[in-house]
Amino acid sequence: MNLYEAMVREVVYTEKAPKPVAAYSQAIKCDKLLFISGQLGIDISTGKLAEGFEEQAKKVFQNIQAILESAGYRIEDIVKVTIYLKSSEYFKIMNRVYEEFFGNHRPTRTTVIASPPLENALIEVDVIAYKDD
């Protein structure tokens, strides 16, 4: 048995974050790592994208927090963040929302200008978290 086969993998799902809209999981826990799929600024109470960039960004991080908590992780466990912005004009606002979410915690981060999968989506974020039990 190789190392990959020996790793315990678990699908993570919570009703407190948007349901996957395609063939993917909200998150996968693999031993001490948690991989959260790209989250959009969807308001789970309406099932629709929030209005405006700042609201979408806040919803993205709320959705990530809900998935983290459902898997027994905390914001401080996040080690890597990848952010996809529809336009560089949103960077300053994203950075402010990001700092509010993370506080003094500073995981590694990559920000890419790209087009998220839904037409009106302005931001998508995926994260990797690590928790030493």
pLDDT of residue 112: 97
What separation in angstroms does the CA of 65 have from each of 1, 7, 76, 98, 113? 34, 24, 11, 12, 23
Q: Is the pLDDT of residue 1 over 60?
A: no
CA distance 106 to 18: 26
Give the SS3 label for residue 106: coil
Instruction: Provide the residue range defining the domain that includes 38.
Output: 8-130
Q: According to the model, what pLDDT value does residue 60 have?
A: 98
Calpha distance 111→96 (Å, rounded): 14
- Per-residue pLDDT tens for 80-102? 999 999 999 999 999 999 999 99
Asked if residue 51 belongs to a domain, the reply is yes
| Domains in the chain, number | 1
Give me the CATH number covering residue 73.
Answer: 3.30.1330.40
β-bridge pairing 48-49 and 78-85: unpaired
Residue at 71 is within a domain: yes
Query: Does residue 55 carry a pLDDT above 80?
Result: yes
pLDDT number for residue 118: 84
Please give the Cα distance from 94 to 8 (Å, whole number): 34
State pLDDT tens for residues 18-46.
999 889 999 999 999 999 999 999 999 99
- Return the pLDDT at 126: 98
SS3 116: coil
User: Would you place residue 115 in the very low, low, confident or very high pLDDT band (cuts 50, 70, 90)?
Assistant: confident
74 domain-assigned: yes
Q: With respect to residue 118, please indicate whether it lies within any of the assigned structural domains.
A: yes
35 assigned to some structural domain: yes
Q: Is residue 1 part of a domain?
A: no
* pLDDT higher than threshold 70 for residue 3: no
Q: Is residue 2 in a domain? A: no
Would 44 be classed as within a structural domain?
Answer: yes
Q: DSSP assignment of 60-89, as one string?
A: HHHHHHHHHHHTT--GGGEEEEEEEES-GG
Whether the Cβ atoms of residue 9 and residue 33 lie closer than 8 Å to each other = no
